Structure 1
């Protein structure tokens, strides 16, 4: 997909970070936007930045709410008559917790938003995407979906799930020649507020500060990388030098990977 003028682009988690940067970038390319966020105030701020309520379709709701996501899909199609690009960007994080000390309630919370939210967004819009000669569904995973990370078992679980679902979907759509390209995106450290807005972030501010110092990529750079990947019909997008390093280290023998990740975990402790 080379030209986004008048294409309908759906973005979840558009109230800040990569989601907002994507909305701004697509608006500059002439796309028609359908935006979502759980925070009504930040969502409206993004909507105002990209043209205002008169020209942007938007709804605030929690993407873990299946009924709300499916209703959003129907409303977007009713409003615009079509959908060309869906970007499932909404996501949350947990502060540093071991697999055992993470409560079942926290597992359910993060899986509901990160994994089920992505699946709802994909499955609700997929029949509409398949009606176009070419279309894209883009799902935000992470470098933590390339290899599991100590003290991020819950987050890694969701990001591996996003990667696996999207890779399988990409092959299915290609087998059936639907014209839908499914893309898994793996950002490294992005300069957003996801670490500070993580659940229990206030209990681990020192680790958060260490992580943020390693965040190398701006949301605007991330957005441009994603758009370039959609144009090239890529099924995997790595964002940032840290993501590329992490991806290629993961191809090394397992013992080397383990040494690297243990060293990383001790440094962040």
Structure 2
């Protein structure tokens, strides 16, 4: 069997780096990407420069992997950024566009660049890194939640379309994951004093939960399981908390789930 070729976006740290390392240990030839390309430190995979918001950059990275190997067997769409807790009206339209341009349209650009080659080879896997906020929206995270809902919907539709071409698509939806990603969250660009106290309280609660959260290796293991599955599922949670939240969303009364979210975040009625 030929060595399988994997392309992992956003692999300079966090979930992307952990995933690229895990795939490399499993025998994949892995290419990680970041906007700045190769960075200091030894890795068991190569790094390529790639900005998922730039179509020419996307095409250049994909074409380089194809030039070297002639195929891409696995695409892991991980590149994205988080948003600090903020009320929906505290982010401008420009900021909303920026969030979607990376977290959602970046996945579309990567998929459009890779799928034609997977179709020609008659096989391939695409794994999109979503979030539990893609099925359980969080107050004061409206735009991030919306981007992850978009990822989930796109992944489900795409999987239906591509199965007949030998390509499967899955979305992985972790809960809180402790990574360097959380130290550089995008702050709201139109803050309002009305929300200052509650914004600070929610932010503090999120930081508390992150202190005891799973590390990125939990997601990396899930990615490998999806990549190796003979019959992959469409949606996977990653980590115990995410699994519990999925069960709550599916089976608990909506009012109970609602109340639980508000209680956890110390939100008044």
The alignment's TM-score, normalised by the length of structure 2, stands at 0.87
Map Cα deviations across residues 125-167 of structure 1 (whole Å, 9 max, x no partner).
Answer: 0111223343100111100001211000110111001000000
The answer for the alignment partner of 1:179 in structure 2 is 166
CA contact (8 A) 1:82 1:128 kept: yes
Q: What is the CA-CA distance between 1:214 and the residue it aligns to?
A: 4.3
Q: Does the residue aligned with 2:182 lie in a helix, a strand or coil?
A: coil
Contact 2:35 2:51 in 1 (8 A): yes
Q: How far apart, CA to CA, are the structure 1 residues paired with 2:253 and 2:180?
A: 34
Return the match for 1:218 from 191, 215, 218.
215
User: What is the deviation of 1:219?
Assistant: 1.3
- Residues 89-238 of structure 1 aligned to structure 2 (within 5 Å): 89-174=78-163, 177-200=164-187, 206-215=204-213, 217-232=214-229, 233-238=232-237
How do 1:2-17 residues align onto structure 2 when only pairs under 5 Å count?
6-17=3-14
1:76 maps to 2:65: yes
Give the secondary structure class of the aligned counterpart of 1:266.
coil
Q: Distance in 1 between matches of 2:52 and 2:171?
A: 18
Say whether 1:50 aligns with 2:44: yes
Q: Hey, what does 1:255 align to over in structure 2?
A: 255
Q: 2:25 matched to 1:28?
A: yes
Q: TM-score, normalization: structure 1?
A: 0.87
Unaligned runs of 5+ in 1: none
CA drift of 1:245 comes to 1.0
Structure-2 separation of matches of 1:150 and 1:179: 39
- The CA distance in 2 between the partners of 1:261 and 1:182, in whole Å, is 30
C-alpha separation between the residues in 2 aligned to 1:214 and 1:260? 19
Distance 1:263 1:64, change over 3 A: same
Q: Secondary structure of the equivalent of 1:13?
A: coil
CA distance in 2, matches of 1:107, 1:212: 24
Q: 1:39/1:263 Cα in 2 relative to 1: closer, same or farther (>3 Å)? A: farther
Conserved in 2, the CA contact under 8 Å of 1:37 and 1:61? Answer: yes
Deviation at 1:75, TM superposition (A): 2.1
Q: Helix, strand or coil: the match of 2:157?
A: helix
User: How many residues matched?
Assistant: 252
**Which stretch of structure 1 is more off in the superposition, 102-111 or 146-155?**
102-111
